[in-house]
Amino acid sequence: MDVNDDPESPDAAPLDPAPVGGPAEGAGAAAASEFDLRPRVSPTEAGSLPSGAAGPNPAASSPVKRYLAIGVLVAILAALGFVLYVGLSDAATFFYNVDEAADQSDQLLGERFRMQGNVVEGSVTETDDGVDFVITYGGVDMPVSHTGTPPELFGPDIPVVIEGSLIDNGERFSSDEILIRHDNEYDEEHPDRINDAERDAQARGGDG
């Protein structure tokens, strides 16, 4: 037997030490050096997401919030525009005395406006849908057909402001709103017209 084949022989060649842990342990160490950077999800979340789908994307909700904010802003602007339109429309409703309206009846036909005068005594007649009466100003009378219930203080020789439009070729006024002398809204906004109407009523009484 060759001395080189005897592992116990002093002259035998030294053996290479086997790698610690063996081949399997070496492969595990190599795998451990790599990190798994994939996001972790709970089993419930994993079951609710389709294969290959990512979780909620915060950036995706930004356009939705932006469109919602724009919609709210548009709604607010529309509401403000409507309020402004109503206010301007009311301010644009012109006032005429009876004599002025009668003189401009051709131009005022079909237009909505306010007309001022005094209720003629003995002219008030109740109808199925309101009341008929005559108002006068500046020596000119105008028959009125009013739809609705007149104010409580409505009566003869009371300065009134009626709102509506001319009908019957300008020979009659159709109204749906009556403001009277004791209506604070009209009294505060048009004190000069109230005084004119009162003077006209007094003049008519003196002539009688």
139 domain residue, yes or no: yes
Q: Which two tokens stand for residue 158?
A: 């009371």
- Give the number of domains in the chain: 2
- 125 and 196, same structural domain? yes
Model-level pTM? 0.48
- Residue (of 182, 205, 206) closest to 121 by Cα position: 205
Residue 48: its pLDDT value, please? 54
114-123 pLDDT, tens digit per residue, is 999 999 999 9
Buried/exposed code over 19-44 (b: 16+ C-beta within 10 A; e: otherwise) = eeeeeeeeeeeeeeeeeeeeeeeeee
* Token pair in block for residue 147: 């739809």
Average pLDDT for the chain: 74
pLDDT band at 208 (very low <50, low <70, confident <90, very high): very low
66 & 138 share domain: no
**Mean pLDDT along residues 91-116:** 87
Residues 151 and 108 in one domain: yes
For residues 101 and 145, membership in a common domain is answered with: yes
Residue 180 shares a structural domain with residue 103: yes
At residue 64, the pLDDT reads 80
What is the residue whose two structure tokens read 């109230």?
194
> Measured on CA atoms in the order 200, 111, 190, 100, is the torsion positive or negative?
negative
pLDDT tens across 26-67, in order? 555 555 455 556 666 555 555 555 555 555 555 556 778 888
Residues 167 and 77 in one domain: no
Q: Is the pLDDT of residue 139 over 90?
A: yes
Q: Which two tokens stand for residue 160?
A: 């009134």
Following DSSP, what letter does each residue of 124-150 receive, concatenated?
-EE-SSEEEEEEEETTEEEEEEEESPP
Q: Does some domain include residue 3? A: no
Domain boundaries, position 75: 62-92
C-alpha–C-alpha distance, residues 138 and 136, integer Å: 7
Residue labelled with tokens 């005559």: 134
**Does residue 18 lie in a domain region?**
no
Tell me, yes or no, whether 179 and 85 share the same domain. Answer: no
Shared domain for 127 and 76, answered yes or no, is no
Co-location of 191 and 110 in the same domain: yes
**Domain containing 161 — which CATH number?**
2.40.50.140
